[in-house]
Structure 1
Amino acid sequence: MLLFVSYHSCKLIHLALVGSLSRLDVFSSIGRALSMRVPSLLPIPAFILATLRPREPQTDLPLHSPLMNTGVCNGDIMILAGNSHPALAQLIADRLGVRLGACLVYQKTDRETMVEIQESVRSRTVYILQTGSKDVNNSIMELLVMAYACKTSSARNIIGVIPYLPYSKQSKMRKRGCIVSKLLAKMMCKAGLTHIITMDLHQKEIQGFFDCPVDNLRASPFLLNYIVEQIPDYRNSVIVAKDPASCKRATSYAERLRVGIAVIHGEAKTRFDDDYEDADEDGDDGRTSPPPLPARQQGRLHSSVSMSSFMERSEPGAEPGPVTAAAAAAAALRRGRPRLRSAASVCFGEVDPSRIMSVGVTGVPMQAAKEKPPISVVGDVGGRIAIMVDDMIDDVRSFVAAAEMLKERGAYKIYVMATHGLLSADAPRLIEESAIDEVVVTNTVPHDVQKIHCHKIKTVDVSILLSEAIRRLHNKESLSYLFRNITMED
């Protein structure tokens, strides 16, 4: 009997191991076998059965968390990523609980961009994540080709998630130039993008260049949170604007942190700066100001002046002759009588020449060149932590020069904070050798290589903001929660 029970138990345990039976079924079968062979034996106690019941799954997220995934994986969403920032795309997909769509983006031997979407996108909402990187033109071309491929494959909605919008600096008209950001916006809409999610545009007016809705998210809450948590003595800090153009952003940070503000004034602009308006250095380019009048118009002007001279009377005793309109008006005023105006001049609104003032300039006056004032700091930074804020860090030479000035004025620690850390050229080396103690940027742009060469660069993750914007947009929820207490200066 015992041998039978042992053989039966081993067989049941083997079935449990291979997955055919559960633990509860195994013990129940053994108990029934023992009850049949040995009636005096009792079945399995209740407390043992209670321990064998499956436990409820536990989760670390609260049931009503505002950033909790609430059914975004409903089968009609797809996230595609280009080659600009695959790490950020993977972070967003993990937070949403979806996988990245199968998409192959590569370049042929002749440098043409090829896109192969290896899944069906018909009647699905496609989110294409592509940001500005070092190879900016290829990144833009990848985005356009991917969007047009989804459009021709009958995707329902094509939403571009572009944390850093390229060419956002070129949003103003320059001499013999164009507004490149408007051209890029038209190209994106023509390619098939129906919505844009971006972050901290260089100029907020760029949203008007698009023919589709644009959500311009803000990274300032993340940077403010870093200041509060990672800078112990932030109450003794001062927010610094490295130029007068950054005063609004610096004021917004200072008001939220309840600290002071300082402005670096007098920094000389070079032709490599964004706000530099280059003067016309072409000299005489064949144009004259004002342009000469043709001979026919000059004859008409002379005849009209001659006729007006006969209509006006000169002073008594003066020899008759042709006089100018200004001289006739002056003579009429000296006589104490107002100059009579013809009916034609009254009807056509001619201006009395006596009311026109001349400044002694023949032609269009030349604009005076700007003087380069000495660099100075407006505000007290002595013995304080100086925190410079901006929307992007590309060429760090201006930040390095500002840090040296702040160090001379007594600032004992200097931070630089920005949303987009482009860090072009030899920026890591300049930062490492400068008086800057720490550079804090977000991961909207990949800069892993720069962090290897400079230990002062710190990164703040903003993937949770982008993923929450995607979740709310996909579930047709309001995005106003992400813009609470956000002003135009942020």
Structure 2
Amino acid sequence: PQARQTIVIVINAYISRSCISRMGRLGVELGKSVVFQEADAETRVDVRESVRGQDIFIIQTIPRDVNTAIMELLVMAYALKTSCAKNIIGVIPYFPYSKQCKMRKRGSIVCKLLASMLAKAGLTHIITMDLHQKEIQGFFNFPVDNLRASPFLLQYIQEEIPDYRNAIIVAKSPSAAKRAQSYAERLRLGLAVIHGEANHSESDMADGRQSPPLSRTTPGHTGLELPLMMAKEKPPITVVGDVGGRIAIIIDDIIDDVEDFVAAAEILKERGAYKIYIMATHGLLSAEAPRLIEESQIDEVVVTNTVPHEVQKLQCPKIKTVDVSMILAEAIRRIHNGESMAYLFRNITVDD
């Protein structure tokens, strides 16, 4: 019988270049496969070697065309499943649609739908990084390893930010306070929270709680009385914590539309912060984000290479990248050898 081995198939090689270079000595082979689009834009894959009984890692970095990337991943996983691969592990550094993990008005929980599609396609395990909400792991009926980028970002703060001891960690909204507190405790720094910032995605208007009629009596049911729905009123923007004469480091998991970050930077400057950094795991930086960052009070935006952003870096020199391929390669190695993953989560807090 054929000896069982591990094969890595790369669909999008953005983060994979350095990741693959670290795996040459592990006995892990780079799979022979092709992913392409037909003239009618249909996705087609061609697996050009036997994968029967093998462990397959599919590395898929989500580019700008997120829906095409998802389809490529699904078709590849299904092709491997029908080719009798033993285990199919998806390495997806940034899990797409993770921001759509809650019910909003009459929408849907798209993240749950995607989890079901991946399972149906044949994936048996996923390695990802800094899910938008940790509860997303419950959407899957197979194991999910949610790695953390915080050790790399903390190292960057300590090594690349001069006088970081004079810094203060800032949460740009109360919902981000737990993550910011985790960073502050490990760096032995203070914590500030920006309160009152508009956050429409979390508002009552967005999640359907304003759907019932605002009148006390429901039309057609004169005997039924409902309590009045009290509208939420946004308080004035304020900063809880002293940032005067400090370096402000804003912590978040995703930076996409940067208007909130730009507004936060202006408030922090008004309150006396003399330098402003933004640390985020996933630098989506969509639309006009590079231009807005370049014209803002923000001094530097530090993101990891979980998603491609080379074009944005050319447009805005304030954007810096931290390489996290090391931890992904180590996760692949440990799963390949059947080792515990606990070492990769040492000193990681629940709120991280």
Give the shorter-chain TM-score range: over 0.9
Match of 1:302 in 2: none
| Structure number with higher relative contact order (C-alpha < 8 Å, ≥ 6 residues apart) | 2
Q: Percent identity?
A: 67
Contact between 1:162 and 1:196, CA under 8 Å: does it hold in 2?
yes
Q: How do 1:450-469 and structure 2 match up within 5 A?
A: 450-469=312-331
Query: Is 1:292 paired with 2:154?
Result: no
Question: Using the alignment, how far apart are the partners of 1:405 and 1:237 within structure 2?
Answer: 16
The structure whose Rg is larger is 1
Residue 36 of structure 2 is matched in structure 1 by: 106
Which residue is equivalent to 2:202?
A: 275
The answer on 1:133 being equivalent to 2:60 is no
Which residue of 81, 98, 107 maps to 2:10? 81
Show CA shifts across 1:200-253 (max 9, x none).
000000101101001100000000000001112010000000000000011100
Q: Any residues of structure 2 matched to 1:218-257 within 5 Å, and which? A: 218-257=148-187
- 8 Å Cα contact 1:90-1:100 kept in structure 2: no
**Residue 194 of structure 1, aligned match among 124, 143, 159:** 124
Separation (CA, whole Å) in 2 of partners of 1:114 and 1:415: 42
Is this contact kept in 1: 2:14–2:61, CA < 8 A? no
1:427 to 282, 289, 310: 289
More helix by share: 1
Task: Report if the CA contact (8 A) 1:161-1:198 is conserved.
Answer: yes
* Aligned residue type for 2:256: D
The equivalent of 2:263 in structure 1 is: 401
2: CA distance, partners of 1:243 / 1:439: 18
Deviation at 1:291, TM superposition (A): 5.4
For residue 95 of structure 1, what is the amino acid of its counterpart? Answer: R
Correspondent of 2:73 among 132, 139, 143 = 143
Q: How is 1:35-434 mapped onto 2 (pairs within 5 angstroms)?
A: 76-83=5-12, 86-97=13-24, 98-270=28-200, 274-278=201-205, 289=218, 292=221, 363-434=225-296
- TM-aligned CA deviation for residue 460 of structure 1: 0.4
Closer/same/farther in 2, CA of residues 284 and 225 from structure 1, 3 Å limit: closer
C-alpha change, 1:176 and 1:407, in structure 2 (3 Å) is same
- The answer to whether the Cα contact below 8 Å between 1:416 and 1:439 also exists between their aligned partners in 2 is yes
Deviation readout 1:281-328 (Å, 9 max, x if unpaired): 77869xx738538xxxx9xxxxxxxxxxxxxxxxxxxxxxxxxxxxxx
Alignment coverage as a number of residue pairs: 344
**Separation in 2, partners of 1:137, 1:246:** 28
Aligned counterparts of 1:77 and 1:91: Cα–Cα separation in 2: 18
Which protein is richer in strand relative to its size? 2
Q: Does the 8 Å contact 1:93/1:99 carry over to 2? A: no
What's the TM-score once normalised by structure 2's chain length? 0.93
CA distance in 2, matches of 1:290, 1:207: 42
Contact 2:204 2:232 in 1 (8 A): no
Deviation at 1:75, TM superposition (A): 7.0
1:476-487 to 2 correspondences below 5 Å: 476-487=338-349
3-state SS of the aligned residue for 1:82?
strand
- Out of 440, 443, 446, the position equivalent to 2:302 is 440
3-state SS of paired residue (2:339): coil
Q: 1:471 to 1:429 in 2, by over 3 A?
A: same
Q: For structure 1, which runs of at least 5 residues remain unmatched after alignment?
A: 1-73, 299-361
Gaps of 5+ in 2: none
Q: Does 1:449 align with 2:316?
A: no
